[in-house]
Amino acid sequence: MQEERGRSAYRPNCHGLSNYYRERFGSHSPELYMNLRISGFDDRLEREEIKKCLTNELKKFAPFEIKVVKNPEEDERLAYVNFERDECARKVRYGLMNKLKAVLGKHVQCDPAGILRDQEGKYIPDRFNRTQHGDKKDNGIANRNRPQKEPSTWRLKKDDVEATRTLFVGNMPSDVKEREIRAVFEAYGKVEEVDIKTPINTDAAYAFVMFQTVDQAKSAKAGEQERSLRNGGSRMKIGYGKSQLSRRLFVGGLGSWCDKEILRKAFGEHGLIENIEYVNGEPYAYVVFESTHASQEALQHLRGVSLTKSNQSIMVDYAKDLTAQPEKQQFMRKRRASKSPVGANGPRTPPGSPKDIVRNFEELDATYAPTWSGKMALKKTDYPVKFYRVYGAERLVIKLLRDEDDAPLRLLITQRLSLASQNLLFEKLSSCSSKELSLGVITGKKELLDLQPLVNYFTNKDAAGVVTVPGGILYIFPFCEFALKLLAEFTPQVQVFNENCPFLLGALAVRAPGTPTS
């Protein structure tokens, strides 16, 4: 019965459309479409089997692209087929369904996908293919009424107004090598960094490619968009990625009018400057602040403005912090678990510059910028929170607590961990390097007291919360001996915790250092 109920959403109706489609877009099918959303596969079929069967059955409609993904709302797979020739999608829907059901399962259903029309004749994007596609408001009625190609499965930032030095490059082979990417993109300028990602359950990879200047990234995006990395391969989908937060800012668009004093005057209004890296006559410079809080403010206020009466606007973006190299060397050294009581030989000195002692939220907010903000969920309640990283690598928080589209994850607390006896957990956490562990003070996003119900819950249960994220695990502690012990071990200058504070302590580890028990 349960299996039958789960399949009911994909049974055909008199219009040949699934209930999923009808509930969202009505009973009308668009006249023109080039893409299909196929669902209701036999549970026994693996992703590669689905793709192989579809490739074989649809071969006369080539060329096309197939992506098999997991439905985020149901435990089943979906396939998106993007055709390059008109009418192929319609011919499959109206002429090939019996054959597809014979090989893929009797509940297989096929809906139009990509750019759809609702019952008022307006185009709307399929919810599993949202992206910033090309139907801009100023394109006119004629442009909206002609068939459009399936947008990519990524929400790409394609507008040059949003340009950064980092490109998001999607739709690449899953076995792509860094040298292949550099061979293509270094034709447009110096590539400072390539970060390749290969998501689970997909046959495609994507990468973040960081150039030395924004202009180089713009040229590379314009030159390589919709081209293949390899001969005969899928076409790359390129947009602008989000740069990693840093104290060091790249400043482009400079000319003979610029000197260090002009830069110091403009950027110094937003915080203390540690260093300005600039050679007169160069088209770019680097400004290093003493804190990321200052660099964030400078980037927000100075991006796209003119520093002189020349009306030439500058480009500002985050740059790799070269001054952090000594700290990264420390990250490579893995500490041993402490066998002596905390404080026996004095507190451990955290890596990096020493911070001021913080005793309340105002001092915390002034000393540490919130690295991450999003929602933390317990049962049916969401709590908007901020994560003030007080120890560990900032990149770790950004990497583990955001999805592939750089959107903050919803942190679902799935387990409760008793604090009665967790010596093993403490030993394993304390053995992590600062590249493997980040500690953060978690507060309410808008009002501090908004987090009080969650704090009370863990305090009354004498327990910690456990959130499992891709590639890591987040432990959440209320005010307790365990939390104080962790702070004393890694960041003794943080002294905001007391019995009445509406804060939580988050310990984010790359791997699960212990096996939590409910």
Same domain, 502 and 421: yes
Distance CA 110, CA 424 (A): 52
Q: What is the pLDDT of residue 510?
A: 86
Q: Which of 240, 257, 284 is the last residue of a domain?
A: 240
Same domain, 110 and 21: yes
Q: Which of 94, 112, 145 is the last residue of a domain?
A: 145
Range of the domain at 46: 2-145
Same domain, 105 and 182: no
How would you write the pLDDT of the chain (518 residues) with one tens digit per residue? Answer: 433 333 333 333 334 677 777 666 666 667 777 888 888 888 888 888 898 899 889 988 888 888 887 765 566 788 888 888 878 888 898 888 888 999 998 888 888 876 444 434 444 444 334 333 333 333 443 333 333 333 334 456 666 666 788 898 988 888 888 999 999 999 999 888 888 887 655 667 888 898 888 888 999 999 998 898 888 788 888 988 877 778 889 898 888 888 999 999 999 999 899 899 998 888 889 999 988 888 989 988 898 888 887 667 888 888 877 655 433 333 333 333 333 333 333 443 344 444 578 888 888 888 887 888 899 999 889 999 999 999 888 888 888 898 877 788 999 998 888 887 677 888 888 888 888 899 999 999 888 888 999 999 998 888 999 999 888 899 999 998 889 989 988 888 898 888 788 999 999 998 644 444 44
Do the strands 166-173 and 237-240 form a parallel or antiparallel pair, or are they unpaired? antiparallel
* Domain-embedded: residue 354: no
* Domain-embedded: residue 226: yes
Q: What is the pLDDT of residue 224?
A: 92
* Domain-embedded: residue 353: no
Q: In terms of Cα–Cα distance, which of 83, 9, 233 is closest to 96?
A: 83
Handedness of CA 395, 397, 398, 403 (dihedral sign): positive
10 Å CB burial of residue 324 (0-12, 13-18, 19+) is: middle
User: At 174, which CATH number?
Assistant: 3.30.70.330
Same domain, 185 and 235: yes
* Domain-embedded: residue 342: no
Same domain, 494 and 371: yes
Query: How many CB atoms are located within 10 Å of the residue 326 CB?
Result: 9
Number of folded domains that form the chain: 4
Residue 408 in tokens: 């903050």
The residues, any chain, with a CB within 8 Å of residue 344's CB and separated by 6 or more, are none
* Domain-embedded: residue 102: yes
Distance CA 474, CA 459 (A): 18
* Domain-embedded: residue 349: no
Q: In angstroms, how far is the first alpha carbon of the chain from the final one? A: 31
Please tell me whether residue 402 adopts helix, strand or coil conformation.
strand
Same domain, 51 and 176: no
Q: In terms of Cα–Cα distance, which of 124, 119, 94, 115 is closest to 12?
A: 94
The full DSSP string for 63-128 is SEEEEEEE-SSSSSEEEEEEESSTTHHHHHHHHSHHHHHHHH-TT-EEEEESEEE-TTS-EEE-GG
Same domain, 435 and 504: yes
The full DSSP string for 14-56 is TTS--HHHHHHH-SPPPS---EEEEE---TT--HHHHHHHHHH
Residue 273 in tokens: 């400057």
Same domain, 469 and 439: yes
Q: What is the pLDDT of residue 24?
A: 63
Distance CA 151, CA 128 (A): 10
Residue 56 in tokens: 């074989």
* Domain-embedded: residue 338: no
* Domain-embedded: residue 73: yes
Q: What is the pLDDT of residue 307?
A: 87
CB 286 within 8 A of CB 321: no
The residues, any chain, with a CB within 8 Å of residue 278's CB and separated by 6 or more, are 254, 258, 259, 260, 263, 285, 286
Same domain, 252 and 221: no
Residue 471 in tokens: 């590639």
Alpha carbon of 158 to those of 152, 280, 303, 348, 473: distances in Å? 12, 33, 18, 46, 33
Task: Please state whether the predicted TM-score (pTM) of the whole model is above 0.75.
Answer: no
Same domain, 458 and 492: yes
Distance CA 248, CA 110 (A): 50
User: At 494, which CATH number?
Assistant: 2.40.290.10
| Residue 425: φ, ψ to 5° | -65, -40
